[in-house]
Amino acid sequence: QQNYDWIVTMDAGLSHDPDALPQFFEQDEQFDVVIGSRQKIENVPFYRRVISRSAAMVVNYALTSSYFDLMGPGLRDCTSGYRRYSRAAAGCIAGVELESKAFDFHMEALALCYRAGMRVTEIPIHYVFSNSSFNSRVLKQAMRFGLHLIGTKGSAPHMAQSNQ
């Protein structure tokens, strides 16, 4: 209603540094989605790093139209919640009935925007792991959603390119 150009999302537990916000707005306006890629991490358990890398592999594969392209657009962090969305990207996400339920939202939002032809980029952020509500139920849900994304591979009319 306020006609803002951007929406920024971040974790509420201060694992994302609010001081990094200016970096998101310094990015070129041509990018509809700017992902705060967790490249500088602290206190992140090994199992969480494995889960994040695995999710990135699944999402990257699912975002391509070719079954032989195993690397996809090469995004490093597909599950980070620290993001800047353009108004168009927010409309793309809000314009459909979402299938995701929790942590898998970040994968679905990225897939919707990317498959709609929107431009995506990443910026490195500092990430400090804090206590998380992530559990085995959420992991199973995310795995199911990853398989769903692969099942819809190539179904989009236009595939965008990320800018790495």
* CATH number given to 6-151: 3.90.550.10
Report the alpha-carbon distance of residue 114 to residue 151 in Å, rounded.
Answer: 16
* Side-by-side strand order, sheet with 6-9: 6-9, 83-86, 33-42, 120-128
The whole-number pLDDT of residue 1 equals 63
Mean pLDDT over 118-126 rounds to 95
Straight-line distance from the first to the last Cα atom of the chain, in angstroms, rounded to the nearest whole number: 33
pLDDT at 132: 64
**Two tokens at 81?**
């919640």
Q: What is the pLDDT of residue 130?
A: 75
Which is it for strands 83-86 and 33-42: parallel, antiparallel or unpaired? antiparallel
pLDDT, position 160: 47
Residue-averaged pLDDT of the chain: 85
- Is residue 93 predicted with pLDDT exceeding 80? yes
| Contact criterion met (CB below 8 Å) for 111 and 59 | yes
Q: pLDDT-based confidence at 134, cuts 50/70/90?
A: low
pLDDT the model gives residue 151: 84
Rg (CA), the chain: 15
Give the pLDDT band (50/70/90) at residue 131: low
Q: Higher-confidence residue: 74 or 102?
A: 74
Please report, for the chain, the start and end positions of each structural domain, with discontinuous segments joined by +.
Answer: 6-151
Pairing of strands 120-128, 33-42: parallel
Contact 35, 77 (CB under 8 A): yes
- 13 Cβ contact list (under 8 Å, min separation 6): 130, 131, 132
**Percent of residues, the chain, with pLDDT higher than 70:** 89
User: Band of the pLDDT at 114, cuts 50, 70, 90?
Assistant: very high
